[in-house]
A and B are shown apart, each in its own frame.
Chain A
């Protein structure tokens, strides 16, 4: 009797396990309309507050729940209406008048009007987190009537409309929700894990580290979403995501699929690989503030020794091009600020045994690691002695505080906030730029960028941006490696795939359909 007990327990346990496994896998509904879209994030998005959120993972949630005044046309840099139907810019570039859409309702039923826009924009300034820079140049906001919103700027800002269309640009939050949950921190505690906007989806669950759930908002003013629900689970391992995609538990992997594995996915009849143009840019920052790379000639020699073009083909295959300009392709005519790194004869004399440290941020696709190790291989062959280190992004932001202790080289893939050259140059290589990790500093570049910012004539401004890029290229302050494409792997039955180059790792969820 007692010997049977363990068996009995095992059988019961197995039954419970099987039972729970069955109940946790709901059968996905079939058919063109409705259904639940299953997506995955590799990491937590941490923040649902559009005035604080400044990450890439999480774009899909923010862009589905909230809307700004403007947005980008799919596959284009063209700005199109969103909550604003039309807009006008005064000839001096100081007054922006937006004609707002009428009949729009927030997801909590509150009607949308110009006052709501003003409240939200003011909140972004009050919260004062990183993305608030887009509204810093605003001197005053007026609401002459319910559908007119006017902003006056302190000085002309060439990319201001792009600020309004950026995925990190100012969004409009329900004023009622902001008042009801105001607290003492401009409703930040609430907005952290709640969201009420005007977008095609409502945020119905925000379980940090677990899952997010979006439910179709039937009162949406525009084209209503096709699917009923979107479930986004946190699956921190790309291999697990891949298995779930193959078995149909996931509908798409939106980023970081290992490049080398794409070929084997293409032969799978259930899956499709889609790649889109993007402003993603893989770059290597050089520490110009410390020996040995404070020497421009050495930086140039190093850039050539990397033999970049063959490196890009080796790592990305056909899913990236070697950068042809200091700006991501599509932001500025590449002829205005070209870069090229003619490969050099690799002799040990180039490096002369100099020790270099190379830090790169971890990425799940294996791309960063491969580039880092290839760079190490090639620089070692050229006589350098390179130590590579995988680091986390917060560490990278610390480097600028102590440039002598910072690595000699830092590699990352970045993207501009909007499709305007200023939104790239100003963060990447302006002396106080937010992503200028290794403190590149050229007064001449700063001056050109400041001039361009206030120039209303586009051609003149572009020339100034080009000139700034050229100086940086001659200086080899940054090595521009690759313009990768935004690559996604989706189930074959997904249609309505709509991608905006400036919204990396994101698709328009409202347009997606499960066939």
Chain B
């Protein structure tokens, strides 16, 4: 009789069970957060397919149409479909947040690893530079960078990437140094493993969980900072659908046509909330290991 599926070794079986047990043990909120996170990423990637209308053209016969009359969320002040705009806005916020984090992890990870492994004056120099950047308030530095380069989404992302890496540099360096004194690293070193391989195979994997948890918690903060920057006019120029800018532009209509500013604002809230819960959930899952 041929095996119907892949045969699981007892070890793998235990791992799977453990993962499942971890999932079950997560709070309902954290589980929800992880699910919403997955859903959001799917929505962000598929927004062009999901949105019923183009986000930047006037598609409805009237502006200020209440939710349900034209489109799911009604039309905005320029007869555009609010639902489509919010979807595209989620896409922009989410993917931007992920891009900033990815670049932060990359830059910070590289600097942290180099500092951690090299030690000595290289470590001191790199860490003092990191401290310098840490001392700057992220949002203010980003505003300065955007003011110098001009408002646009790529500039915002560059600005945030510049201020976002120092956290990761610190975390990675600390983890690398903690790993470096452990016996498996000594063993590898004695076996004659080269520096690069040592870093990649034996030191960095140990830093991974801490970075992952920080990153997932950061997604929420980044969504908020991006929305804040675009709220004060430092995001993409119009008509780009950005959640912060949409809320800002809708503010004059808060009382008579509340859905126009509230729909993007609620989207920002949900994104940040879900990201935070998911971060908590992820930490609980990884702690189990």
Chain A: residues with CB nearer than 8 A to chain B?
238-239, 242, 258, 260-261, 263-265, 314, 364-366, 369-370, 372-374, 376-377, 381, 387-390
Q: For B260, give the chain A residue with the smallest CB separation.
A: A260
5 pairs of residues in contact across A and B, judged by CB atoms under 8 Å: A239-B251, A260-B63, A366-B77, A374-B78, A389-B237
Interchain CB contact under 8 A, A366 and B253: yes
Question: Is residue B256 within 8 Å, beta carbon to beta carbon, of the partner chain?
Answer: yes
Interchain CB contact under 8 A, A387 and B77: no
Interchain CA distance A242-B249 in the complex, whole Å: 17
Interchain CA distance A374-B57 in the complex, whole Å: 10
Interchain CB contact under 8 A, A260 and B253: yes
8 closest pairs, A vs B, by CB? A264-B256, A258-B252, A366-B252, A261-B256, A373-B78, A373-B238, A260-B253, A370-B77
Q: For A257, give the chain B residue with the smallest CB separation.
A: B252
User: Would you give the shortest CB distance from A49 to chain B, in whole angstroms?
Assistant: 32
Q: Which of B56, B58, B233, B256 lies at the interface centre, i.e. has the most chain A CB atoms within 10 A of its CB? A: B256
Q: Which residues of A contact B233 (CB under 8 A)?
A: 390
B contact face: mostly helix, strand, loop, or mixed? loop
Q: Which of A364, A373, A389 lies at the interface centre, i.e. has the most chain B CB atoms within 10 A of its CB? A: A373
Residue-wise interface mask of B (250-268) relative to A, using a CB-CB cutoff of 8 A (1 in contact, 0 not): 0111111100000000000
Interchain CB contact under 8 A, B255 and A239: yes
Interface residue from B56, B58, B249 paired with A369 (Cβ < 8 Å): B249
Residue-wise interface mask of B (23-53) relative to A, using a CB-CB cutoff of 8 A (1 in contact, 0 not): 0000000000000000000000000000000
Q: Which residues of B contact A389 (CB under 8 A)?
A: 237
Interchain CB contact under 8 A, B239 and A376: yes
Interface residue from B56, B237, B252, B257 paired with A365 (Cβ < 8 Å): B252
Q: Which residues of A contact B252 (CB under 8 A)?
A: 238-239, 258, 260-261, 364-366
User: Would you give the shortest CB distance from A393 to chain B, in whole angstroms?
Assistant: 16
User: Would you give the shortest CB distance from A239 to chain B, in whole angstroms?
Assistant: 6
Q: Which residues of A contact B56 (CB under 8 A)?
A: 377
Question: Is residue B88 within 8 Å, beta carbon to beta carbon, of the partner chain?
Answer: no
Question: Is residue B165 within 8 Å, beta carbon to beta carbon, of the partner chain?
Answer: no
Number of contacting residues on B, CB 8 A? 19
Interchain CB contact under 8 A, B238 and A242: no
Interchain CA distance A376-B64 in the complex, whole Å: 19
Residue-wise interface mask of B (102-132) relative to A, using a CB-CB cutoff of 8 A (1 in contact, 0 not): 0000000000000000000000000000000
A314-B63, A388-B238 known; A377 vs B256 contact (CB < 8 Å): no
Interchain CA distance A376-B80 in the complex, whole Å: 13
Interchain CA distance A239-B260 in the complex, whole Å: 14
Q: For B152, give the chain A residue with the smallest CB separation.
A: A387
Chain B: residues with CB nearer than 8 A to chain A?
56-58, 63-64, 77-78, 233, 237-239, 249, 251-257
Interchain CB contact under 8 A, A370 and B78: yes
User: Would you give the shortest CB distance from A244 to chain B, in whole angstroms?
Assistant: 13
Interchain CA distance A369-B251 in the complex, whole Å: 12
User: Would you give the shortest CB distance from A75 to chain B, in whole angstroms?
Assistant: 28
Interchain CB contact under 8 A, A260 and B251: no
Interchain CB contact under 8 A, A377 and B237: no
Interchain CA distance A258-B256 in the complex, whole Å: 10
Interchain CB contact under 8 A, B57 and A377: yes
Interface residue from B57, B64, B238 paired with A260 (Cβ < 8 Å): B64
Q: Which residues of B contact A374 (CB under 8 A)?
A: 78
Q: Which residues of B contact A258 (CB under 8 A)?
A: 252-253, 256
A260-B77, A263-B256, A366-B77 known; A388 vs B57 contact (CB < 8 Å): no
Q: Which residues of A contact B78 (CB under 8 A)?
A: 370, 373-374, 377
User: Would you give the shortest CB distance from B256 to chain A, in whole angstroms?
Assistant: 4
User: Would you give the shortest CB distance from B241 to chain A, in whole angstroms?
Assistant: 12
User: Would you give the shortest CB distance from A380 to chain B, in whole angstroms?
Assistant: 8
Interchain CA distance A364-B64 in the complex, whole Å: 18
User: Would you give the shortest CB distance from A246 to chain B, in whole angstroms?
Assistant: 9
Interchain CA distance A264-B255 in the complex, whole Å: 8
User: Would you give the shortest CB distance from A165 to chain B, in whole angstroms?
Assistant: 34
- Known contacts A261-B252, A365-B252, A381-B57; 11 additional CB pairs below 8 A are A238-B252, A260-B252, A260-B256, A261-B253, A366-B252, A370-B77, A370-B78, A373-B238, A376-B239, A377-B58, A377-B78
Q: For B251, give the chain A residue with the smallest CB separation.
A: A239
